[in-house]
Structure 1
């Protein structure tokens, strides 16, 4: 369609389509009405939303008018996955990874419903989604650190001494954003710093070096689903599990080890969102205390993981990782044996729902006209 012509002498205005409009889904886990979307409307409305309703499936979740979305509750998860639904956490935001599984887009952005639009130092609203897309579409440099951080950003470049043979970088699989106001602290830190707020905006993006782990936060996160989606499993958390609040970190450790093995990059830094709600540190401590204890073994485990050369896909890497979890972490607690089994179930379910479009299985998830999952 040609652009509409204005008055004589005026330059015609050509509508600009939002970046990756038809290639990106926004995944939101929630237990409440999504009124927070009103603040994000200028940035999110052009995109498709996948809402994963946690908790009571009989509760009605209100979504503001004008958004294109599909909404899944626990009944839908059980219907679509059958017995394999056991790998999706219940009463925990880890349920969001079901949205990653049913998406058919190349990219995913996930955000929590207590995250609002932040402002940069000039007072301008930050389009977090656009900044994530910028990071995902530019290469990463995990093999050699650039002291000007991301050399692909406008106004930056590779510094003197950076090998020219490495300047093409590698594909970026994960863009990890940060938060203003309420920091993403664990319960002990929350307890000793109850009034601390993050007001410092650092205008930087950097690639996390190969061989270095990081604590991934899932409330402001984007990733290339085609490159790393099958490893973005947020584990078994919440109802019936001895641990919570380690879902995103578990996924981050698994993804980083696999990205390092497959030659993919992970970036962290911009964009910022405004985290509005501090969770109860005493409730968090009850959820985290085993994780705080176990992480002293989990981190050395991931630091020592060496995946075989014949693991050339994310799925094969993840299945190999599940075997190592069972072997190395299983003796610590039976939970890890259960988690290792769930990792296998996750991959099986992922492959069932993500077969080539020409196959009958591709119709496993059918949608109703109103944007909610169709009931079979």
Structure 2
């Protein structure tokens, strides 16, 4: 029977890595931790992969690195659902999708020892000169003054600091919010207020397919690249402003999991894809604004080495949801105003989508589908809480 994490594992940080190819990137992340004196025993790696991948090689790598961790292909995830009393909710994690990172969130939720989570994409590498894990933990513990960024469009371009030079907007940024007037100020942050730390990216920026085409690239990357010089100081998005949240380099506190479901993309009848982390970030930002919390942005940077692929394949995956992405934030912008916790805010946003009528939008029924899955996500978390822990053999 599939067990929860071994009692011998003591880490408080669950590092979730969706991977089918470049899992060896973890060698660089572990080396970075050791080089900078970060306590590697705090890290527990969860590799989320597929049945056709070489699971044995992944496990051997974790053993060779002498780190705590587990590898879950599709079959083993099904065993885990069964053992943890949530087999009926297995569908909330979409098949063959980057959004399978949601399995890592369920895995975390089942183990109270995990205080923090961290998403790492397998096409990234840490910068040698930065303490990758240490900086994320410092960000989550941050208190003091920090730049606050907003705009007259209620959206923050996380690449704003050198946008006059490169002109880039990240994947998921609404087209209708472009050409915004940026407004900066100072926010005073209390201890415990930061609940997510979004590290940004050098080399290949995280762009959507339309913007990649406009940049003249047919291989799914970008002709315009970013360097560390494109990023200034760290910042938060002002209250009432939204931002794109990319899960390739992202740390977070356990408490956000009820409002941080990575949404059911790719495996749906509308063929909507590529917005799982983007929309989850919209929902998380709304929850943060209601509950007085913050998303910290900036460093640690990672090097994003996105593999070449047809830009038109990405366009096909995104186009079904482009119109919806323009309007999602407006639909939930006042939801859950009186809520007292993440689950309550999330339930209010789920109701707004599940009970709404969206015939005016192409593929508007997908909003209803998402809202229903958001409700099921909360039910799944409740079921995990009710299920008894599986004893070690």
- TM tier, shorter chain? 0.7 to 0.9
Partner of 2:166 in structure 1? none
Q: Does 1:51 align with 2:26?
A: no
Q: Aligned to 2:46, what secondary structure does the other structure show?
A: strand
Larger strand share, 1 or 2: 2
Q: Deviations over 1:276-314 (max 9, x none)?
A: 124531111011012222212213223x323142x2121
Structure 2 residue runs without a partner (length 5+): 1-9, 34-39, 151-184, 218-222
Partner of 2:28 in structure 1?
39
Q: How does 1:252-291 map to 2 (within 5 A)?
A: 252-278=281-307, 280=309, 281-291=311-321
Is the 8 Å Cα contact of residues 148 and 237 (structure 2) preserved in structure 1? no
User: Aligned to 1:232, which of 240, 260, 266?
Assistant: 260
Match of 1:153 in 2: none
Where does residue 175 of structure 1 map in the other structure? 197
- TM-score relative to the length of structure 2: 0.74
For residue 327 of structure 1, report the CA deviation from its aligned partner. Answer: 3.1
Out of 293, 296, 301, the residue aligned to residue 326 of structure 2 is 296
Tell which deviates more after alignment, 325-334 or 193-202: 325-334
**2: CA distance, partners of 1:245 / 1:85:** 20
Q: Which structure is larger by alpha-carbon Rg, 1 or 2?
A: 1
Mapping of residues 244-255 of structure 1, within 5 Å? 244-255=273-284
Name the CA distance, whole Å, in 2 between partners of 1:351 and 1:118. 38
TM score, norm. by length of structure 1: 0.77
Residue 84 (1) aligns with residue 89 (2):
yes
What are the superposed Cα offsets for residues 24-72 of structure 1, whole Å, 9 maximum, x if unpaired?
Answer: 111111113621112122245431111111x436753522112210122
1:201-212 superposed matches below 5 A: 201=229, 202-212=231-241
Cα distance, 1:77 vs structure 2? 2.8
Tell me the C-alpha RMSD between the 2 structures.
Answer: 2.7
- Distance of 2:146 and 2:292 partners within structure 1: 9
Distance 2:203 2:73 in 1: 30
Q: Is the 8 A contact 2:55 2:73 kept in 1?
A: no
Task: Return 5+ residue gaps in structure 1 as ranges.
Answer: 1-20, 147-160, 356-360, 369-376
Q: What secondary structure sits across from 1:306 in the alignment?
A: coil
Mapped contact 2:12–2:44 kept (Cα < 8 A): no
Equivalent of residue 130 in structure 1, options 112, 118, 134: 134
CA distance, structure 2, for counterparts of residue 144 and residue 30 of structure 1: 34
Cα distance between partner residues in 2 of 1:187 and 1:86: 28
